[in-house]
Structure 1
Amino acid sequence: MLSLARSIRFVHGGNIINVAKLTLTSRKMSSGGLEAAGYSFETLKVTKPREYVLQVELNRPEKRNAMNAAFWREMVECFNKVSTDPDCRSVVVSGAGKLFTAGIDLQEIASLMPMESDVGRKSMKLKGAIARYQDTFTCMEKCPKPVIVAVHNACVGGGIDLITACDIRYCSQDAWFQVKEVDVGLAADVGTLQRLPKVVGNDSLARELAYTARKMMADEAMRCGLVSRILPDRESTIEAAIETAALIASKSPIAVQGSKVSIVYSRDHSVQEGLEHIACWNSAMLQSEDVMTAAMAAVEKKPAEFSKL
């Protein structure tokens, strides 16, 4: 990050040009986005494609975006920061390279086994490790900012754990999805078995996918509700996700974040409990300046501008 607040003189084409109070908080990336200030990771690239929108890209293309130890740690760090970042109101998650993700790095599985000989102690350490993996994607669900995922090509194993923790899912026409864990001798344990049945609303299909590890192609994913849009290719999928994120970011952050919190809460509670929850939430949030701001913008027929949280 470079920040300058003084006049600068430089020569361009033989002419002296004065630039006053030049302020740069981000620098241009080759992909056309802006590198987000304060987000520096080994396995993730975080850019700012639109105002109040962050794009978090899985960035191990040479390893098919396999999820290694650094990834599990950095996703938590990233989304904990996103949750409290006043300059972010929505997030797009994408994958660099030929595919979205091949899932967990198999070398990571090998490193999980504790050295203790005692079964109880070994089990306790494994349970703690699994809980930390689960927190990696639960933090995306707990993040009050809506998360839109743009999937292209393969989304395997841990990739299903990731996308089912997101709010909105788009994919490219060549995308395919696979709950792969049974093929490596495991039951999925980072969120797929808990979230996928609720996302697709089809218990039989969720069980079939988990028990067989068969591939689900984009058209079937659309029919069952796993994704809400199919785009021609990776680039158009990411762009559509960014446009939706920008539209969300233009709305009241109080209203959008309240909606997400209520939807997530209501999923795991009764209708009555959900109604009581949103009543308590709005008894405070209806007093927000955003209500008047939105009303005045509607009267004046101009876009509303909401202050940062």
Structure 2
Amino acid sequence: MIEYQAFRVELKDKVAHVAINRPDKVNAMNAAFWSEIVEIFRWIDETDEVRVVVLSGEGKHFSAGIDLQLLAQAATQMGADVGRNAERLRRQILTLQASFNAVDNCRKPVIAAIQGYCIGGAIDLIAACDMRYCTLDAQFSIKEIDMGMAADVGTLQRLPRIIGDGMMRELAYTGRAVDGREAQAIGLVNRTYADQPELMTAVFELASDIAAKSPVAIRGTKEMIRYMRDHRVDDGLEYIATWNAAMLQSADLKVAMAAHMSKQKPDFAD
């Protein structure tokens, strides 16, 4: 497995564990983070052995968001010309957006396991995941508003579909913190756990359950859910009909049916 500066990556029993690995910096997202996450999720997407991803943060906190040193560095690159500054900033923002688009566009389900701080850019990150689970003491905050800026890496675009427009506006306008219990109540996370060991045990059990399913069926299910974010119902029905015209010919269907009839656990090819 490749060594990374900002992450620790492991693959075991079809589940890739991607851990932000800067606990001494509260897992703040430095320059290496933004480039490495694209490389990691490209590898995940291209590696058939990987069926599910667990995304977590080492130490007491998931992530404190973008590294402030990175923002300070961007500020030092500004020149006298407003137009050129704007073009430079726009390119940088689009590059950061691409990092979390890599998570969102991944063909495999991505499960976020969150403890402690999940602030600013970390909200953008978990919003790009399929499912989110946290500890009761987790603290979520769209902190960009307190830094005098609008969140620009995906929170304002993805979060309304997760927690609803009104609640998203409240959190984005105020920057107030939400704990694990409220996060579950508003639908930001699926479930809460007492502490990090309990959280990680439960999340890996869930990941193992998903990894045991047909990878072709999981791929199709994720693609259809994602497609429906921006299309009408009749468009989605047309798409799944065309998709399954091919995918229902997969050997996985026969394997699943045979296992069901014999009351055995199916074993699907990667």
TM-score, normalised via structure 2 length = 0.97
Aligned CA RMSD, in angstroms, stands at 1.0
Q: CA deviation at 1:117?
A: 2.8
Matched, 1:61 2:31: no
Q: Residues of 2 paired with 1:125 and 1:258: CA distance?
A: 38
Q: CA deviation at 1:192?
A: 0.3
Equivalent residues in 2 for 1:49-198, closer than 5 Å: 50-113=12-75, 114-198=77-161
Cα offsets for 1:203-234 (capped at 9, x unmatched):
11110100100001111110111101101111
Q: CA deviation at 1:144?
A: 0.5
> Which runs of 4 or more aligned residues in structure 1 lie more than 3 Å from their structure 2 counterparts after TM superposition?
113-116
Q: Residues of 2 paired with 1:209 and 1:97: CA distance?
A: 26
Equivalent residues in 2 for 1:170-249, closer than 5 Å: 170-200=133-163, 202-249=164-211
The count of residues paired between Structure 1 and Structure 2 equals 269
Q: Residues of 1 paired with 2:108 and 2:79: CA distance?
A: 41
Cα offsets for 1:162-219 (capped at 9, x unmatched):
101000100001111000001111100000000111111x211110100100001111
Q: Residues of 1 paired with 2:236 and 2:95: CA distance?
A: 28
Q: Residues of 1 paired with 2:87 and 2:194: CA distance?
A: 46
The structure in which a higher percent of residues are helix is 2
Amino acid at match of 1:71: F
Instruction: Return 5+ residue gaps in structure 1 as ranges.
Output: 1-36
What secondary structure does 1:78 align onto?
helix
Cα offsets for 1:11-30 (capped at 9, x unmatched):
xxxxxxxxxxxxxxxxxxxx
Amino acid at match of 1:66: A
Partner of 1:266: 228
Instruction: Return 5+ residue gaps in structure 2 as ranges.
Output: none
Q: CA deviation at 1:106?
A: 0.4
What secondary structure does 2:228 align onto?
helix
Percent of paired sites with the same residue: 48
Cα offsets for 1:38-66 (capped at 9, x unmatched):
x3211100123x41001100000000000
Q: CA deviation at 1:291?
A: 0.7
Partner of 1:17: none
What secondary structure does 1:267 align onto?
coil
Q: Residues of 2 paired with 1:295 and 1:251: CA distance?
A: 12
Q: Residues of 2 paired with 1:43 and 1:228: CA distance?
A: 27
What secondary structure does 1:94 align onto?
strand
TM-score, normalised via structure 1 length = 0.85
Partner of 1:296: 258
Amino acid at match of 1:265: Y
Matched, 1:253 2:224: no
Q: CA deviation at 1:118?
A: 2.2
Partner of 2:267: 305
Compare relative contact order (CA 8 Å, sep 6+) and give the higher one, 1 or 2.
Answer: 2
Q: Residues of 1 paired with 2:128 and 2:230: CA distance?
A: 14
